[in-house]
Amino acid sequence: MSTFTNTLFVGKVLLRINKLDSTNNYATSLLSKNKPSEGTVISAWAQEQGKGQIGRTWLTEPGKNLTFSIIFYPRFLIAKEQFILNQAIALGVFDYIKQICPNSKVKWPNDIYVNDKKICGILIQNSLSGAHIQTAIVGIGLNVNQQNFPESLPNPTSLRLETGQTFDLDQVLENVCERIETRYLQVRANNYTLIQQEYLENLYRFQEEALFEYPGGATFSGRIVGISETGRLMIDHQKGTESFDVREVRFIL
């Protein structure tokens, strides 16, 4: 497959690599050598040391799923606004998955869930220059055709498991990137309200009673009532409204 036809800049440079450690690492190394064009996509057939959020790893069966990174230069964003980019990217992937799996949700901060199971994880690594974001490496792991997952993964799923169909990986990559570009352009056009609103409308467990866990293991029940400007999850519980970053709370149910 050549490069994408329905995008303005995402995937106009498309690097397909057979095997590598991590597409995010590959993007970091490209950025350290020269200035790849904005929208460069690096996609791996096999990713052997995939990185997840908060130091976790991302496991994926070679040739079955999408593991890719996109390079953006969102210099128009100041550091404290960076969560809007997470929201936009998550919504972009969600927009694609939703038309295949109607029961999809965005799970804070930026996973996609289908029928209470994780189908996609996103790892965005920003570098700053002064108060502004200089580069953003948007890494996406989307489970597409994988049917068996290691026991160690808590609740994985894939497009194949949800629909019974096999998907063409190149086509999925192109379509997901189209959706991501549309959402990125909304951020660039300063359309934050729309993104924040749609993120909340599609947020997993929003306004529902759910069980959460503090890092020490203590659990509590509460209700997600919003997301702060800096991307903290706001939960109403016995003690009132408390806000959390991703290291400070875990969903249980």
For ligand BTN, the closer of residues 209 and 245 by Cβ is: 245
What are all long-range contacts of 90-94, with beta carbons under 8 Å and residues at least 24 apart? 90/122, 90/199, 91/183, 91/195, 91/198, 91/199, 91/202, 92/176, 92/179, 92/180, 92/181, 92/182, 92/183, 92/184, 93/120, 93/122, 93/140, 93/142, 93/176, 93/179, 93/180, 94/202
Binding region for ligand BTN (CB under 6 A): 22-24, 47, 50-53, 56, 58, 67-69, 111, 121-123, 139-141
CB-based contacts of 20, cutoff 8 Å, min separation 6: 26, 44, 46, 47, 48
Q: How far is the CB of 124 from ligand BTN (least distance, A)?
A: 9
Q: Shortest CA distance to 112 belongs to which of 223, 245, 203, 248?
A: 203
The upper half-sphere exposure of residue 234, i.e. CA atoms within 13 Å in the direction of its Cβ, equals 11
Q: Which residue is nearest to ligand BTN (CB)?
A: 121
For ligand BTN, the closer of residues 13 and 194 by Cβ is: 13
Asked if 13 and 36 count as a contact pair (C-beta separation under 8 A), the reply is yes
Q: How far is the CB of 241 from ligand BTN (least distance, A)?
A: 26
For ligand BTN, the closer of residues 84 and 138 by Cβ is: 138
Neighbours of 39 (CB within 10 A): 23
Q: How far is the CB of 131 from ligand BTN (least distance, A)?
A: 26
For ligand BTN, the closer of residues 142 and 224 by Cβ is: 142
Asked if 132 and 116 count as a contact pair (C-beta separation under 8 A), the reply is no
For ligand BTN, the closer of residues 59 and 194 by Cβ is: 59
Q: How far is the CB of 3 from ligand BTN (least distance, A)?
A: 19
Q: How far is the CB of 130 from ligand BTN (least distance, A)?
A: 27
Q: How far is the CB of 180 from ligand BTN (least distance, A)?
A: 13
For ligand BTN, the closer of residues 51 and 232 by Cβ is: 51
